[in-house]
Amino acid sequence: MARRRSKKKRQEELMELVNEQPFLTDEELALKFGVSVQTIRLDRLELSIPEMRERTKVLAESAYGQLKAMTGGELVGQLLDVELGRRGSSLLETTPEMGFSKTKVVRGHHIFAQANSLAVALEDAPVVLTASAEIQFRRPVYVGETIFCQAEMKSTRGNRTTVDVVSKVGGKEVFSGRFEVATIDTGN
């Protein structure tokens, strides 16, 4: 009987966690719950929770249509959700081409580009440029890891907006930045 309760509790926590962080893979969920990947897959099936790629695809389809400053193809990473003028998130699956061949460490410009493009995408304007950025790399990201990036607008003064961005791998911070983006009046 105790086993059923722990399964039920695990499944409740799984449902809650996937709703909060839909980007988590079965492997990451298995580590968090201390169970096998197969157990997570069975729990997902019982709860009708789609796998991570399907969850992020559904989120992305509704988010891309809202972008004004860029197209989906210009954004670095896969857009998960966006509230123009407020916040957004994206996912970047790193590949061998992004890393150094000897160390398998992902080059910093890929991590920066994901964060920068998300900061720009939040602005509800057709032309947006990065005016400045203060960034910190917290730890190396290795080829094959998936970067979850969240951005939130903090303040606006005139045509400039401050956007805070945090990137995580497996729930642990790997990058943070404060971007100042500027909207440009094109006269159209």
Q: For residue 157, what pLDDT is reported?
A: 93
Residue ranges per domain, the chain?
Answer: 2-49, 59-183
Global pTM? 0.67
Topology of the domain covering 2-49: Arc Repressor Mutant, subunit A (1.10.10)
CB 100 within 8 A of CB 107: yes
CATH assignment, 59-183 = 3.10.129.10
First to last CA, the chain: 68
Instruction: Please state, in angstroms and rounded to a whole number, the distance separating the CA atoms of residues 166 and 93.
Output: 16
Which strand (E) or helix (H) includes residue 33? helix 26-33
Question: Among 132, 153, 133, which Cα is nearest to 85's?
Answer: 153
Tell me what percent of the chain is helix, strand and coil, each rounded to the nearest 5: 40, 30, 30
Q: For residue 118, what pLDDT is reported?
A: 93
CB 111 within 8 A of CB 175: yes
pLDDT by residue for the chain (188 residues), tens only, comes to 444 458 889 999 998 888 777 778 888 899 889 999 999 999 998 888 878 777 766 565 555 555 555 555 677 888 887 888 899 888 899 999 999 999 999 999 999 999 999 999 888 888 889 999 999 999 999 999 999 999 999 998 999 999 999 999 988 999 999 999 999 876 65
